[in-house]
Amino acid sequence: MGKIESNSRAILDLDRLVHEPARLAILTVLASAEEVAFLFLQRVTGLSKGNLSSHTQKLEAAGYLETVKVFQGRIPVTSFRITEDGRTALRLYHQQLRALLPKEGKS
């Protein structure tokens, strides 16, 4: 098997759920803290409410994050936490991507 073919396979093996830029941004933010409020996640990623909800639902369905809903007085507050599976998926994605990139000094 040639190098080009093996690289193509590696690209195809990338976790597409993580590879999507918005979801990658969401997982990166969640991996940097223990629990993140919806509002902060929305502002830091620059996504609209609807977009963020749709992406978090997909990640939750894959078991990469969990939603925490609490009431502060009468106001419902939504937060997210990355799961161990989510952390592993993100770490694996970084490793795969790093392996695909050309080493420094090599053309």
By the criterion CB under 8 A, which residues form the site for another protein? 21-22, 24-25, 28-29, 31-40, 42-48, 51, 77, 79
Tell the smallest beta-carbon distance from residue 6 to another protein (Å).
Answer: 26
Closest CB to another protein among 44 and 62? 44
Closest CB to another protein among 37 and 92? 37
Residue 81: C-alpha distances to residues 8, 42, 65, 69, 93 (Å):
33, 14, 6, 11, 19
Tell the smallest beta-carbon distance from residue 42 to another protein (Å).
Answer: 8
- CA dist 93 and 16 (Å) reads 9
Query: Residue 12: enclosing H or E segment and its boundaries?
Result: helix 3-12
Tell the smallest beta-carbon distance from residue 90 to another protein (Å).
Answer: 10
Sequence-distant (6+) residues with CB within 8 A of 74 are none
Tell the smallest beta-carbon distance from residue 4 to another protein (Å).
Answer: 27
Closest CB to another protein among 1 and 75? 75
- CA dist 29 and 10 (Å) reads 25
